[in-house]
Amino acid sequence: WGLVLVVVAAMVHPASAGAAVPQDAKVVREGLARAVERSRLSADEAARYRAILDRAVSVQRRLPNPRASNLAAVIRDVSVQVARYDRPRSLALFSMLDLNTRHLSRAVPAGGTDVQEAEGVGYRAFAGRGLQFHPLANFAKLNSLVAARRADEASRLAQALVARGVPTEGGLAWEYYFPFGGGKAPWTSGMAQAVAAQALARAGLLAEAGLA
């Protein structure tokens, strides 16, 4: 089922978004300001995320296609979540935007390529959508690290993923931030949630796995 989602998502091509980047950026800035007003983010957090956005917009203007259109699509993905900005979602979204700005300034990764940031959090390339936060792939990796007894790497990745988990009545949920199959983001995967619970439990984070 996870493979089906990957294939379907890869077939979804966003509309040309380059011309909309200034408006999308304006929406994001306004959303960050509202998140501070509502105490969902601190002023320092919002300032850090604005800096990531400003850098992305500046880089996007100078890029040729398809790098420019991929980065524009990621900026759009961040903007459409504006009403949901809180600590875990903003961390996931703006970390994803920062990573895309750095990688797309050099090249467009081939579809299906996985790229990791310093904490070990992984992002997967989708056609026309840049590199996207991918919960299922991340928790599969966490399982592998635990099985290989690579404790330091497992702990670092587990904590980074927990920080990106959105609180729900049932515990934490990990969201995908790109649309697929005609549906809108954010969405969650039952398979990803199940693998998350298994991986976090194996990493010793029973409460975060919803088992405590």
User: What pLDDT score was predicted for residue 205?
Assistant: 78
What averages of pLDDT result for each successive group of 10 residues across the chain (212 residues)?
37 55 98 98 98 98 96 98 97 98 96 92 96 97 94 94 92 92 89 94 74 49
Determine contact, residues 63/104, Cβ cutoff 8 Å: yes
Q: How many CA within 13 A on the CB side of residue 133?
A: 29
Residue 53, amino acid: L
Q: Which long-range contacts (CB under 8 A, 24 or more apart) does 32-39 make?
A: 32/85, 32/90, 34/85, 35/85, 35/86, 35/90
For residue 12, the model assigns a pLDDT of 40
Instruction: Classify strands 122-126 and 114-116 as parallel, antiparallel or unpaired.
Output: antiparallel
d(CA 144, CA 172) in angstroms, rounded, equals 21
Can you give the pLDDT at residue 208? 67
The Cα–Cα gap between 132 and 96 comes to 7
Query: Are residues 154 and 145 in contact, defined by beta-carbon separation less than 8 angstroms?
Result: yes
The count of C-alpha atoms lying within 13 angstroms of the C-alpha of 51, restricted to the half-sphere facing its C-beta, is: 6
